[in-house]
Structure 1
Amino acid sequence: MDQIEILPYSAELSPFFKSINQAWVEDLFSIEPFDQAQFDSPEDTIMIPGGAIIYAKLGEEIVGTVGLHKISNDEFELIKMGVKSSAQGKGVGMILGHAILKKAREMGGKKVVLYSHSKLVPALKIYRKLGFKEAELEEGKYCRCDIKMELEL
């Protein structure tokens, strides 16, 4: 079996951030304005403000991606973790999760939060295995989210 390789953000890989995440968001929910802004301009909305995006490559194919949105100097939000359906069940999500948490630590992060939905059972399983714990969800943060999780690094 091919090894999963983690790649950093590059303009060349940017379209995969949109295509991989847009697929699952449209399939399960609907695209919100903040989604569209992140998909159309990840450089401006995520990278320049101090965040990060990484990609998972399996063989010659980019099969997954995840981002960090900078909240403060020591807190990040894990955003847009997506794995192509053809690569699901191969451990890509867990590898992406470990890699993005490592990146958060390297960037000075002390805490990572995420927002999700209870119907995303496989994703929630990954988050719990990574050590995330449920936290109180503030009202109105995201329309489609009914779960907030946190991890102290």
Structure 2
Amino acid sequence: MENIKIIPYSSELGPFFKSINQPWVEELFAIEAFDQAQFDNPEDTIIKPGGAILFAALGEEIVGTVGLHRISDGNYELVKMGVMPTAQGKGVGMLLGEAILEKAREMEGKKVVLYSHSKLISALKIYRKLGFKEAELEEGKYCRCDIKMELQLSNL
């Protein structure tokens, strides 16, 4: 595995949250209003309400990102995990997943949920390796999602 470094959010890195995630969301789905808000202002929509964003660097290049959106005390949603096509298959997604779950634990998280789609096979493999289990998907949460997964952090 190449030397991948996990970096916390800074305003200088904020634009990478959009530049890494927006292309794959547009290619596979449609941009929803909440997506646009997160892309345009990750600090106000994710960081300030009590969440976190991490980035992955391969050498000097930012190649991946993931967000942790605070739902309520102890409950978080993993959002917008994306890896640049040139860095896929190098373990970046797994390292981002491990790092964001560690961040959730540091933030006294008890449960992390995520919403995904069955056609995102590589992402689902990572989520399962991280310990996420499928849960009942509530109606109307997100238009594009057909899978909900949960991970109880308090049992680890």
Give the distance between the partners of 2:131 and 2:41, measured in 1 at CA: 30
What is the TM-score with the length of structure 2 in the denominator? Answer: 0.97
| Cα distance between partner residues in 2 of 1:128 and 1:141 | 21
Residue aligning to 1:60: 60
Q: Secondary structure at the match of 2:80?
A: strand
1:109 partner letter: G
Structure 2 CA distance for aligned equivalents of residues 33 and 69 of structure 1: 16
RMSD between aligned residues? 0.7
| Superposition misfits of 4+ residues, deviation over 4 angstroms | none
Q: How does 1:130-141 map to 2 (within 5 A)?
A: 130-141=130-141
Shift of 1:67: 0.3
Give the Å deviation of 1:98.
0.2
Q: What SS does the aligned partner of 1:97 have?
A: helix
Aligned partner letter, 1:63: V
Residue equivalent to 2:48: 48
Q: What are the superposed Cα offsets for residues 89-143 of structure 1, whole Å, 9 maximum, x if unpaired?
A: 0000000000000000000101000000000000000000000000000000000
Shift of 1:29: 0.5
CA distance in 1, matches of 2:102, 2:24: 25
- CA distance in 1 between partners of 2:107 and 2:23 (Å): 29
- The letter of the residue matching 1:38 is Q
Q: Which runs of 5+ in 1 are unaligned?
A: none
Residue 99 of structure 2 is aligned to residue 99 of structure 1: yes
Q: How many angstroms apart in 2 are the aligned matches of 1:17 and 1:125? A: 22
Offset, 1:73: 1.2
Distance in 1 of aligned mates of 2:9 and 2:2: 21
Aligned-residue offset at 1:33: 0.5
The answer to whether the 8 Å contact 2:67/2:78 transfers is: yes
Counterpart of 1:67 in 2: which secondary structure? strand
- Report the CA distance between 1:2 and its aligned residue: 3.8
2: CA distance between counterparts of 1:44 and 1:60?
26
Distance across 2 between alignment mates of 1:140 and 1:30: 15
**What is the SS of the residue equivalent to 1:131?**
coil
Q: Percent identity?
A: 79
Aligned to 1:32: 32
Partner of 2:78: 78
The answer to whether 1:69 aligns with 2:80 is no
8 Å CA contact retained: 2:53, 2:66: yes
CA distance, structure 2, for counterparts of residue 30 and residue 77 of structure 1: 20
